[in-house]
Each structure stands twice: as structure tokens, then as C-alpha cells.
């Protein structure tokens, strides 16, 4: 019988760790958190030192029962959830539930799931870290206070079901501020002039940059043509030729934020997807005869630190695979932020014995792509810099100065493994363009060959991608490695922001909520204030301040703001958000309101005028009303034309005589139900997803997710086909039919 019990978070880790420990160990998983604040009430006694009331999560009662039984039989219990604050809270709560008199309970932490790391943690256990637990507890209480105190206000003033979050609200503010910059941006015209020159039969382009020693700015076409004429008729004399060696150093190994950014830019993964894939690589992958093997170190980290063993191992790999010339004399080091948790390491491969090509067959496409990215970044981080011969040539043309720049890569260095993202996916900088110039010296005269003028317009700052927002949050000290992905996901799940062409744009709801929070809780969504709170939580973990002091310092001003907001917050339910659209029925102003089925336009003169309409927003944030589309169908009740409308469950036909005639009909797909012969109608589910269901519901409950097409399957004769996949090609819905599925 096992003498010891080791408890981890995930069952995937159990499989990986089992082979490291002998029969003396039983390994169990807590399946994440086992206790939390209750969902039905605040669960924090603010009048009694913010005492929290934790309850066992209902779904975890069975798990805890099994853990208790195993713990009662064990001589020692080792708690080994993830080595961060959330993991410490899990360990603390498990200990509270399983502890018996004289039971020996220890904390075991490891940043990588290898035999050496696991055995080292078991042989050098520690007591539970109360400071780290209190840091997590303080964060949880802060978030609960904000969510449970502000959300009901938003329900009363805007719409039922809204939420406010301590950190998500700041992220929303950042997105809204960027959108405001974009909308207020004034585009300006400017021009550039490039000249093609030649020497010894070899030509190259130069750019006009100065006039009489001052930077040249050209704003109109007329000015451009005038300058071009003056330059064209002048002499071109070499004023200076400068060639120097430029070094491009490799980037540090990944930390969480950089991994999310690079995976987004290169692989088009969302931060959430990146973390899910990384979790699997960390916990272990079955690689055939060797069983479950962990491939990367812990993926929630802000530290660039790498163990001596890992550095020695990667240096040996570089020397063997690429050659001594690619290996620096001493290891490359990288400086982390002052707030980085140096107990962790950077994200790196656990072992150099598992290069990507060796494990490719055991990983799915996305898992392999992420592992290869982590591997290449780590290897490159310990390689020599890339070396360029960079040349800059200044050429006079009367009062104008022209410049040509370019570089030649003469030693790949780390670029043999990992090209920088900006080189791969954005325009190359002028001085990094690979240009080979003819031999030139000062006073040489060059020949004119061509000139081109190009019109440009200044561009507003771009909207944030998910990865760009993560970078912004990190730079401003908002959130931590374990929360970035959740923050970005939450503002989209709450419908405060949405993706447009892959970038985040605030919705009208997001703008409205953000403005109310700015007006009523200026400190809460102040970037510096929130960053200060994150630093305060770090200080609690480091034992520099008491967690109750942190909560008191936050709650005293927050309580005042809350009382003022309760009394004075504007009601958007009553006012709506004004637009520049006029009511077609009475001429009043249309305002945006929110109902149980989403946002809509309503006349501000309600209840005297009850006109409403749906709307969309274009890429510039302008409101575009969705007017009802007339049809040639007549209402079978009153004879008036039927119009096409959009509603909660999709598009439908309604009588134009509303409200006198309330006749409504669903739109048929033209396909009959294969079970009862009814019509298949387009509908929308509770989560907004479209589907097709039988018109004879609830007597017939046949549904299908994809759009049915009134064409018989040419292979099996099934009565209709469906449109499926990104290509929306026609396939047979019958499972055992292959038509269209190859």
C-alpha cells in the first residue's frame, strides 16, 4: 500500500508523474480549485476584517471525498498544484479539507515535470506559503467586491446581466481610448520623392530627405512636382559613404506575454488558445513507448531566468548542430522587470532530447506549431548575434540631400533558427533592406536615371489585436501572466468588445459602460491605480505589506465612490445613448437602448412614439440602421405587405400593419423535415447561434446546425444537402455518406 499521497491539479499530470515515483506514492488530482466564494452572495464580511466565506464547489465534493480517503491512509501528504498564487490557494484549501490531527502535510513545487524536478520537490518539501495564499485571497476578495458591488448598479442603470471587473474594466478603457483616438484622428497628406541613380552600370534608389540641411516635409502635389523638377536638373555628388558592422542580438526566451504575442503574430492563435495548448505541453504528452512526457516548463511566468543545466544543455545542442561559430563564449543573459517572479523560469523545452521533429507525430498540428516556436526561440536565445554590413550613402543634388541605405547579412547567427517577427511579417526597415551598392567614394558624380513621387496619408493608430492588448497590459503593469488571456477573453464574452478584421473594437455597450465607470469610479479604472494594486499584491506575496492593509486602503475610497454612484449614476435605461439618426415616424432623435434580446434603436419620445429598429455599426463606429425590407408577399390576415425583420431568433416575416396586425411568420429554408415532413425554419438558440428546426416543434424536435439545401444527395439519395465548413461547400449530412466530405 502507498505510504505517501501526492496531489496535483490536473489528471494529465498524474499520468506523467506516475513513472517518476515508485509504489510508495499514490497520485491524485484536485481537478483545479476545490473551494471558492459562494456564487449567490458576496461571501465577504467587510465589517469583520474582510473575512471570506469559502464553500466547497458542488462539483468537487466527490473529488474531495476521494482525496480525504487517500489522505487518511497516507503517512505524508504532498500538495503539488501549480507553483503560483492560484496553485497555492488550491493547496491551502485542499489542506483545510483533508487535514487531521498529526497529519503531515507538505507543499511541493516544480517548474517542470521531470524526474529530477519532481524528486527534488519531494525531497525538499516546504510548508504551505501563507503569504502567497494571502496574495491570492486578497486578489479574489478585491475582484469579488468590485464585481458584486458594481454589477447590480449596471443592471439597474443599463441592462440586466452586465458585469464589471477590477482588471477587465481597465482593459476595456484602454480599448475605448484607442477607438476614440482613431475616430478623432485627422488624416494629413504628405509626399515622398525617390530618385534612381547609377554608377558603373549599377543603379539604386535614393530618398530625398533634406533641403538646405533641414528635414524636408512635402505636403502637396504641386510642391512635389516643383522639387522633383529642381532635383532632376541638378548634379548628383556623393557627400559621404559610411559602412559599419551592425549586430542584431537574439531575443530572450519566452515569458507568458511574449509567447501569447508571438503565437498570435505567427500562428494566429488567440491568447486563450495559446495557453490551453501550452498547458497540455507542460502537463505531458504521450510519445509512444516512453509514455507521457512533459515537453515545456511552466507557462505562466514573467521571468527570463533559465537554469544552469538547461543553458549547458542547449549550448551543447547548438555546438553539435550548428557549429562552434554559432555559440557565444559565455551564455547570453536577459534582464527581467523588477516585479518578475524570479523563482520561476522562462518558458523553454524541458529537455533537448525532444527536438520538434522527434515528437511531431505525437502532437496535433497546433500543438506542434507552438512547441516548435518555443523550441526555436529558446535555442536562438543562446546563439550568436546576426551580423550585417550596413551602408549609408549621402548624395547632394543642389540644395537637396538624398540618402540610400541598405545592409548585407554576412553571418546568420541566431537567424539560422528564429527570424524576428517584425522581419517576417512587417515592412523591413530602410537600413535593413538587402541592397548591394556599386563602389563609391566622396566627390563621385552619379548619373540620373529616374524619379518617382508618391502620395501618402498619415494613418491613425491601429486597433489592438488580442496580442497587442496583452502587450499593453504588461507594459502598464495591469494583470499578471496567469490573467492576461482571461482578461482579453472576458471583455469579448461580456460583449464589451468584438473583433473586426481580427482587431478589437468596443461595442456601443462597451463604450457606454466604460463612460459610466469613468464618471463614477475614476480610481477603479485608472491605469496607474490598478497597476499599483498589482504591485501591492506582489508586496503581499513578498511579505512587505499585510493583505488586510491592502484591502482597507482599497475599500475606503471605493465605498465612497459606490455610495455616490448609487445616488447619482445616470440611467441609460431611461436616457439611452443619443445618435444622429432621426425617427422616421415623428422626427425625434433615435437613441440606443438595451433589452433582453440585445441593443436596438428607439425613439427618444417614447412612450408617445414607439418606433424601434435594429442597427449595425460600420468599421468606423457609425450607426447603420437596419430598415425593414419590403417583400412582394401579402399578409394572409389583413392583406398588407409583409416585411423582412431581424429578431432574437434570426430573420422573420412580419406584417407592415403592426401594431394593428401582429401576424408573424418564420422564414422557411425550402427544405422539408426528414422525420415528419414539416418545414425547416431558421432559428436562433439562447447563445445566439443559428440553427434550423422543424416548424412542427415541439411535436417534432428535429434540428440541424448547418444551412439545408433543397438538393438530393447524388450518392445516397438523402432528401437534402447542407453547407458546411469554411468553404461552405455542399455535403451530405448523413454520417455514413462520403459525398462532399473528401
**DSSP code of 53?**
-
Q: Tell me, what's the pLDDT at 85?
A: 93
**What are the DSSP calls for 12-28, one per residue?**
HHHHHHHTTS-TTEEEE
179 and 270 assigned to the same domain: no
- C-alpha–C-alpha distance, residues 521 and 173, integer Å: 12
What CATH code is carried by the domain that includes residue 62?
3.40.50.140
Of 572, 605, 640, the one marking the end of a domain is 572
Handedness of CA 468, 469, 470, 473 (dihedral sign): positive
pLDDT at 727: 66
pLDDT, mean of residues 203-219: 96
Cis peptide, bond prior to residue 222, ω within 30 of zero: no
* 8 A C-beta contact, residue 274 and residue 259: yes
* Within a domain: 566: yes
CB atoms within 10 A of CB 601: 21
Residues 394 and 245 in one domain: yes
Q: Is the pLDDT of residue 629 over 50?
A: yes
472-492: burial string, b at 16+ Cβ within 10 Å, e else? bbbebbbbbbbbbbbbbbbbb
Q: Is the pLDDT of residue 422 over 70?
A: no
| Cα(546)–Cα(88) distance, integer angstroms | 17
- State which residues form the domain around 669: 577-709
| Mean pLDDT taken over the chain | 91
| Rounded average pLDDT over 721-736 | 83
Say if CB 503 and CB 462 are below 8 A apart: yes
Q: Is 676 inside any structural domain? A: yes
The DSSP output letter for 3 is S
> Of 137, 175, 151, 254, whose CA–CA distance to 476 is shortest?
175
pLDDT of residue 426: 39
What local confidence, expressed as pLDDT, does residue 552 receive?
Answer: 96
Annotate 147-206 with DSSP letters as a single string.
HHHHHHHHHHHT-TT----TTHHHHHHHHHHHHHHHHH----EEEEEEEEEEETTEEEEE
Task: Report pLDDT for 615.
Answer: 85
In a domain, 280, yes or no: yes
Lowest mean pLDDT among 46-50, 58-62, 312-316, 434-438: 434-438
Q: What is the predicted pLDDT for the residue at 730? A: 87
Omega into 698 within 30° of 0, i.e. cis?
yes
Last-in-domain residue among 572, 604, 633: 572
Report the distance separating Cα 627 and Cα 612, nearest Å: 10
Q: Is residue 33 part of a domain?
A: yes
What is the pLDDT, as a whole number, of residue 634? Answer: 84
Contacts of 214-222 with CB under 8 Å at 24 or more apart are 216/400, 217/190, 218/190, 218/191, 218/192, 218/193, 219/188, 219/189, 219/190, 219/191, 220/189, 220/191, 221/191, 221/453, 221/455
- Mean pLDDT across the stretch 70-99? 95
Could you say which DSSP state residue 621 is in? -
249, 273, 305, 302: which is closest to 420 by C-alpha? 249
Please list, residue by residue across 237-267, b when 16 or more beta carbons sit within 10 angstroms of its beta carbon and e when fewer do: ebeebeeeeeebebbbbbbbbbbbbbbbbee
pLDDT > 70: percent of the chain: 95
421 pLDDT tier (thresholds 50, 70, 90): low
- Residues 272-284 have pLDDT tens digits of 999 999 999 999 9
Average pLDDT over residues 191-197: 97
Whole-angstrom distance, CA of residue 658 vs CA of residue 678: 27
- Residue 93's nearest CA partner among 27, 31, 18 is 31
Q: For residues 467 and 444, state if they share a domain.
A: no
Q: How confident is the model at residue 424, as a pLDDT?
A: 38
Q: Find out whether 371 and 356 touch, Cβ atoms under 8 Å.
A: yes
Residues 99 and 22 in one domain: yes
**Residue 355 CB contacts under 8 Å (≥ 6 apart), including other chains:** 375
pLDDT digits (tens, 9 = 90+) for 471-518: 999 999 999 898 999 999 999 999 999 998 899 999 999 999 999 999
Q: Domain holding 153: CATH number?
A: 1.10.460.10
In the chain, what percentage of residues exceed pLDDT 90? 73
**Confidence label for 599 from pLDDT (cuts 50, 70 and 90):** confident
Residue 433 — very low, low, confident or very high, per pLDDT cuts 50/70/90? low
Domain boundary among 572, 597, 629: 572
DSSP SS3 for 497? strand
In this structure, is residue 436 part of a structural domain?
A: yes
| Mean pLDDT across 526-545 | 94
Do 637 and 539 lie in one domain? The reply is no
Count how many domains the chain has: 5
Residue 339: predicted pLDDT: 59
- When mean pLDDT is compared across 313-317, 543-547, 623-627, the lowest value belongs to 623-627
Residue 726 lies in a domain: no
Residue (of 84, 87, 93, 99) closest to 37 by Cα position: 93
Residue 92 lies in a domain: yes
Range with the largest mean pLDDT of 119-128, 419-428, 650-659, 692-701: 119-128
Are 611 and 657 members of one domain?
yes
CA distance 614 to 599: 8
**Which sign, positive or negative, has the C-alpha torsion 608, 613, 616, 622?**
negative
CB-based contact 431:408 (threshold 8 Å):
no
Instruction: Decide: residue 412, CB within 10 A, 0-12 exposed, 13-18 middle, 19+ buried.
Output: middle
- How many residues in total does the chain contain? 742
CA distances from 450 to 191, 207, 228, 232 (A): 17, 12, 11, 8
651 with 596, same domain: the answer is yes
Is 24 within a domain? yes
Q: What is the pLDDT of residue 688?
A: 61
> 118 — alpha (psi -120 to 50), left (phi > 0) or beta?
alpha
**ω before 597 within 30° of 0 (cis)?**
no
Instruction: Average the pLDDT over each of 325-339, 605-619, 636-650 and give the range with the smallest value.
Output: 636-650
Give catalytic residues, as residue numbers. Answer: 298
Residues 6+ apart with CB under 8 A from 521: 150, 169, 558, 561, 562, 565
CATH of residue 401's domain is 2.70.20.10
What 3-state class would DSSP assign to 740? coil
Q: 631 and 649 share a domain?
A: yes
Q: With DSSP H G I counted as helix, E B as strand and the rest as coil, what are the percentages for the chain, rounded to 5?
A: 35, 25, 40
Band (pLDDT 50/70/90 cuts) for residue 686 is: low
541 and 583 assigned to the same domain: no
pLDDT at 438 over 70: yes
Candidate from 240-244, 441-445, 692-696 with smallest mean pLDDT? 692-696
HEC assignment per residue over 684-701: ECCCCCEEEEECCCCCCC
**Helix/strand/coil for 309:** helix
Whether residues 103 and 78 fall in one domain: yes
Going by C-beta distance under 8 Å and a sequence separation of 6 or more, which residues neighbour residue 120? Answer: 110
Closest CA to 120 of 83, 87, 86, 84: 83
The number of helices, as runs of H, and strands, as runs of E, in the chain is 19, 35
The predicted structure's pLDDT at residue 725: 73
| Distance from the first to the final alpha carbon of the chain | 53
- Per-residue pLDDT band at 649 (split at 50, 70, 90): low
Query: Is residue 244 domain-shared with residue 298, that is, in the same domain?
Result: no
594 and 665 belong to one structural domain: yes
**pLDDT of amino acid 420:** 72
pLDDT of 570 reads 94
pLDDT at 315: 98
pLDDT in the model for residue 342: 59
Which is it for the CA torsion 144, 147, 149, 152, positive or negative? negative
The pLDDT of residue 726 is 63
pLDDT at 341 over 90: no
Q: Give the residue-averaged pLDDT of 3-16.
A: 92
Domain with residue 296: its CATH number is 1.10.290.10
Of 64-73, 337-346, 488-497, 563-572, least confident by mean pLDDT is 337-346
Amino acid at each position: 500500500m502507498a505510504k505517501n499521497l501526492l496531489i496535483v491539479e490536473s489528471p494529465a499530470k498524474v499520468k506523467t508523474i506516475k513513472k517518476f515515483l515508485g509504489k510508495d506514492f499514490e497520485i491524485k488530482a484536485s481537478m483545479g480549485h476545490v473551494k471558492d466564494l459562494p456564487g449567490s452572495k458576496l461571501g465577504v464580511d467587510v465589517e469583520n476584517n474582510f473575512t471570506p466565506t469559502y464553500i466547497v464547489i458542488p462539483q468537487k465534493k466527490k473529488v474531495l471525498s476521494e482525496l480525504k480517503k487517500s489522505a487518511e491512509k497516507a503517512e505524508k501528504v504532498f500538495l503539488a498544484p501549480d507553483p503560483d498564487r492560484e496553485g497555492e490557494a488550491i493547496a491551502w484549501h485542499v489542506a483545510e479539507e483533508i487535514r487531521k490531527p498529526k497529519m503531515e502535510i507538505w507543499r511541493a513545487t516544480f517548474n517542470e515535470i521531470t524526474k529530477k524536478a519532481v524528486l527534488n520537490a519531494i525531497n525538499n518539501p516546504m510548508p504551505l506559503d501563507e503569504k502567497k495564499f494571502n496574495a491570492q485571497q486578497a486578489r479574489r476578495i478585491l475582484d469579488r467586491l468590485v464585481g458584486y458591488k458594481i454589477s447590480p448598479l449596471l443592471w439597474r442603470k443599463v441592462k440586466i446581466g452586465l458585469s464589471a471587473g477590477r482588471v477587465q474594466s481597465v482593459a476595456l478603457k484602454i480599448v475605448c481610448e484607442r477607438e476614440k483616438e482613431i475616430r478623432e484622428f485627422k488624416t494629413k497628406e504628405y509626399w515622398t520623392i525617390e530618385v534612381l541613380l547609377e554608377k558603373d552600370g549599377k543603379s539604386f534608389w535614393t530618398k530625398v530627405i533634406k533641403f538646405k540641411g533641414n528635414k524636408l516635409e512635402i505636403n502637396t502635389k504641386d510642391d512635389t512636382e516643383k522639387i522633383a523638377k529642381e532635383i532632376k536638373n541638378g548634379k548628383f555628388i556623393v557627400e559621404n559613404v559610411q559602412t559599419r558592422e551592425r549586430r542584431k542580438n537574439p531575443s530572450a526566451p519566452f515569458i507568458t506575454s511574449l509567447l501569447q504575442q508571438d503565437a498570435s503574430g505567427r500562428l494566429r492563435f488567440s491568447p486563450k488558445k495559446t495557453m490551453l495548448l501550452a498547458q497540455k505541453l507542460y502537463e505531458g504528452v504521450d510519445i509512444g513507448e516512453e509514455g507521457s512526457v512533459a515537453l515545456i516548463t511552466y507557462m505562466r511566468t514573467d521571468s527570463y531566468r533559465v537554469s544552469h543545466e538547461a543553458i549547458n544543455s542547449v549550448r551543447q545542442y547548438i555546438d553539435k548542430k550548428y557549429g562552434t561559430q554559432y555559440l557565444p563564449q559565455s551564455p547570453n543573459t536577459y534582464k527581467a522587470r523588477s516585479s518578475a517572479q524570479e523563482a520561476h523560469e522562462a518558458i523553454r523545452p524541458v529537455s533537448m532530447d525532444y527536438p520538434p521533429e522527434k515528437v511531431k507525430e505525437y502532437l496535433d498540428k497546433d500543438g506542434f506549431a507552438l512547441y516548435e516556436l518555443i523550441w526555436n526561440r529558446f535555442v536562438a536565445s543562446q546563439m550568436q548575434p546576426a551580423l550585417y554590413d550596413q551602408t549609408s550613402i549621402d548624395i547632394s543634388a543642389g540644395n537637396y540631400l538624398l540618402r540610400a541605405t541598405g545592409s548585407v547579412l554576412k553571418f546568420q547567427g541566431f537567424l539560422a533558427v528564429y527570424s524576428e517577427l517584425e522581419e517576417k511579417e512587417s515592412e523591413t526597415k530602410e537600413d535593413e533592406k538587402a541592397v548591394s551598392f556599386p563602389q563609391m567614394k566622396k566627390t563621385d558624380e552619379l548619373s540620373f536615371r529616374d524619379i518617382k513621387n508618391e502620395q501618402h496619408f498619415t494613418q491613425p493608430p491601429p486597433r489592438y489585436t488580442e496580442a497587442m492588448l496583452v502587450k499593453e497590459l504588461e507594459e502598464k503593469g495591469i494583470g499578471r501572466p496567469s490573467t492576461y488571456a482571461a482578461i482579453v477573453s472576458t471583455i469579448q464574452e461580456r460583449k464589451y468588445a468584438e473583433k473586426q478584421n481580427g482587431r478589437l473594437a468596443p461595442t456601443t455597450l462597451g463604450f457606454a459602460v466604460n463612460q459610466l465607470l469613468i464618471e463614477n469610479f475614476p480610481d477603479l479604472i485608472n491605469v496607474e491605480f490598478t497597476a499599483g494594486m498589482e504591485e501591492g499584491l506582489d508586496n503581499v506575496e513578498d511579505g512587505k505589506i499585510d493583505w488586510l492593509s491592502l484591502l482597507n486602503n482599497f475599500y475606503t475610497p471605493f465605498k465612497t465612490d459606490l455610495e455616490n454612484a448609487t445616488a447619482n449614476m445616470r440611467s441609460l435605461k431611461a436616457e439611452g445613448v443619443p445618435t444622429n439618426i432621426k425617427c422616421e415616424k415623428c422626427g425625434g432623435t433615435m437613441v440606443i437602448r438595451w433589452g433582453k434580446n440585445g441593443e436596438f434603436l428607439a425613439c427618444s419620445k417614447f412612450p408617445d412614439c414607439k418606433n424601434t429598429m435594429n442597427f449595425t455599426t460600420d468599421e468606423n463606429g457609425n450607426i447603420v440602421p437596419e430598415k425593414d425590407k419590403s417583400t412582394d408577399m401579402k399578409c394572409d390576415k389583413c392583406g398588407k405587405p409583409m416585411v423582412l425583420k431581424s429578431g432574437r431568433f434570426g430573420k422573420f416575416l412580419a406584417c407592415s400593419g403592426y401594431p394593428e396586425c401582429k401576424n408573424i411568420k418564420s422564414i422557411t429554408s425550402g427544405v422539408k423535415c426528414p422525420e415528419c415532413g414539416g418545414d425547416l425554419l431558421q432559428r436562433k438558440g439562447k447563445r445566439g447561434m443559428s440553427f434550423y428546426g422543424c416548424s412542427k416543434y415541439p411535436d417534432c424536435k428535429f434540428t440541424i446546425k448547418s444551412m439545408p439545401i433543397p438538393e438530393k444527395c447524388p450518392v445516397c439519395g438523402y432528401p437534402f444537402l447542407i453547407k458546411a465548413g469554411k468553404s461552405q461547400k455542399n455535403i451530405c449530412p448523413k454520417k455514413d455518406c462520403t459525398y462532399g466530405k473528401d
